[in-house]
Amino acid sequence: MYKKPTRRQRWYLLAGAVAVVLAIVFAAVLSIPIKSDTLKERVIALLSDQLESEVTIDTLEGRVFPRVSVSGGGVVIRQKGRTDIPPLISIKHFEIHGSLRDLLRHPRRVAEVRLEGLEVKIPPGDGDDDGKDKSDAEQRAQAQKLEQVIIDRFEAPDTVITLIPRKAGKQPKVFTVHHLAMERLGINQTIPYIATLTNPIPKGEIETSGTFGPWDVVHPARTRLTGSYVFEKANLDTINGLGGILSSKGSFGGPLNHIEVQGTTQTPDFQIDVGGASVPLTTRFTALVDGSDGDTYLHRVEGKILNSELTATGAVIGFEGVPGRQVEIDFTMPNGRIEDLLKLAMNSDKPLLNGAIHMKAKLVIPAEKKKVIDKLKLQGDFGLTQAKFTDAEVQTKLMGLSRRGQGLDKDEPAADVLSNLSGRMVVDNATVSFSRLTFSVPGAQVDLAGNYGMRSETIDFKGHLKLQATLSEVAGGGVKGFFLKAFDPFFKKPGAGMVLPIKIAGTRKAPKFGLDMF
């Protein structure tokens, strides 16, 4: 009965197969006459036995002078019985070179190996301990054959690595490694490497170097990978709805299925597609990358937009049957600036208002083929303290509202008004819904609920205006105030002098205020 390969067997095949292929091919060529018609058949038989796989080779030839070399093409290595998944390894063309003198001293030492058109498709596994087909002793015995193999120089330009996800229906993660070079490649060695690869989303080039190994024979998934990387000129336009050029650098290390990453990012022109201006965005982060399915878990992110700092945790994960990956972020901004966030959302020379803001929210960006603003989901609480509107006319109206709310005469001096604003909001389908929105100035408070369209900029709010002064006090006393005093009980509510139902409609640029009497 067929059993799926475990994760340890999967990584075992990945890391060991290439070295075994090359060493056994080389040994086979040296042990068989170069012109033998049975050379290819013998090599295929050896590889199939050693790798316990189905192997095919289109062409194979070798020569001894002027140097020992083997070349060929059309190599395909497939796990036995696994016609439901692509081949594990495919090689369009390979060249193996060595010195006859060195080979006589070290029969399994190869000077140089170069692969062209290498494709590695890593299938999913069931875990380190499930469905084990071989004992630890059997795995050690097989690995001893590989430990004698040493490749002095290994190159594989334009290698394509595909991670087939463990969960059915998830999209595979594909990396193109433009340059891959290793020195002294061997199973029991710590192998230095240099590689350049293309990251698909956001699209950009990654240069990385570090060490791989030594190979853990019993638990291959525990084999360590370390290194540093530089990610330059990543185009955020490849994420629908975002803009800017991102650069990042950092380091990583850990076993293959549990890689810890630390790094920083800089995006001097970060922008979203709701009409806002570009702003500088920087982050410092620590994360865990699961090499078996490409999911990333953010332990901590420290970000800065202009002068506003935030901290976050979250994940970038895939789901069954859904292409792409979903972003989930929980973040807090304990002491930010509202003018920084407004600049990101509105392209204006002068922000609507200035002031301190604190916020706590959960952000979800589903893996959908929509612009970010149309698929973004957010819910959270926020508060602004001592905010001041930059528009002189608006600020004058607020001062008038504050004066009337306190029952002051219009000629009485009043200090410049600072406003407090707090609320709870939910963002979905490019609409901001406020279940609670409270705005206050000295002497007056506005309680609202309603919606704001992020694309249409339409406003639809209803609520109450609470004044500290009564209706007669707002009228300014005198004869008018005397007659209105009889109506004070009809508008007075507990904790307020006068309460009026109000509504706000229209657009952000032309709002309409009025009483909501019907």
Decide if pLDDT at 92 tops 90: yes
Decide if pLDDT at 150 tops 80: no
Instruction: Give me the mean pLDDT over the 103-123 stretch.
Output: 77
CA distance 418 to 310: 25
pLDDT at 385: 84
Percent helix, strand, coil in the chain, to 5, is 20, 50, 30
Query: What percent of the chain stands above pLDDT 70?
Result: 69
Cis (ω within 30 of 0) for the bond into 214? yes
pLDDT, one tens digit per residue, over 29-50 is 544 445 445 667 777 776 777 6
Residue 129's pLDDT band (cuts 50, 70, 90): very low
From the list 357, 354, 353, 361, the residue with the least C-alpha distance to 335 is 357
Q: Which of 89-93, 250-254, 369-373 has the lowest mean pLDDT?
A: 369-373
pLDDT, one tens digit per residue, over 348-367 is 677 777 889 999 999 898 88
pLDDT at 254: 87
pLDDT at 416: 62
From the list 241, 231, 420, the residue with the least C-alpha distance to 344 is 241
Residue 475's pLDDT band (cuts 50, 70, 90): low
From the list 427, 352, 337, 430, the residue with the least C-alpha distance to 392 is 352
Instruction: Give me the mean pLDDT over the 243-259 stretch.
Output: 87
Alpha carbon 342 to its chain's center: 24
| Averaged confidence pLDDT in the chain | 76
Instruction: Give me the mean pLDDT over the 251-256 stretch.
Output: 86
pLDDT at 1: 42
Q: Which amino acid is at 416?
A: D
pLDDT at 140: 54
**pLDDT higher for 182 or 307?**
307
**pLDDT higher for 339 or 401?**
339
pLDDT at 446: 85
Residue 228's pLDDT band (cuts 50, 70, 90): very high
pLDDT at 247: 92
Decide if pLDDT at 22 tops 50: yes
Decide if pLDDT at 194 tops 50: yes
Decide if pLDDT at 101 tops 80: no
Decide if pLDDT at 304 tops 60: yes
pLDDT at 5: 42
Decide if pLDDT at 328 tops 80: yes
pLDDT at 128: 45
pTM of the model: 0.69
**pLDDT higher for 312 or 182?**
312
**pLDDT higher for 407 or 387?**
387
Decide if pLDDT at 262 tops 60: yes
Q: Is 353 left (phi over 0), alpha (psi -120 to 50) or beta?
A: beta
Instruction: Give me the mean pLDDT over the 320-342 stretch.
Output: 85
Decide if pLDDT at 65 tops 70: no
pLDDT at 153: 84
Residue 332's pLDDT band (cuts 50, 70, 90): very high
Alpha carbon 7 to its chain's center: 24
CA angle, residues 330, 334, 337, in degrees to nearest 5:
110
**DSSP single-letter state for residue 277:** P
From the list 460, 486, 462, 461, the residue with the least C-alpha distance to 472 is 486
Decide if pLDDT at 203 tops 90: no
Instruction: Give me the mean pLDDT over the 223-237 stretch.
Output: 87
Instruction: Give me the mean pLDDT over the 203-215 stretch.
Output: 83
Decide if pLDDT at 426 tops 80: yes
Q: What is the CA radius of gyration of the chain?
A: 34
CA angle, residues 207, 209, 211, in degrees to nearest 5:
155
pLDDT at 11: 43
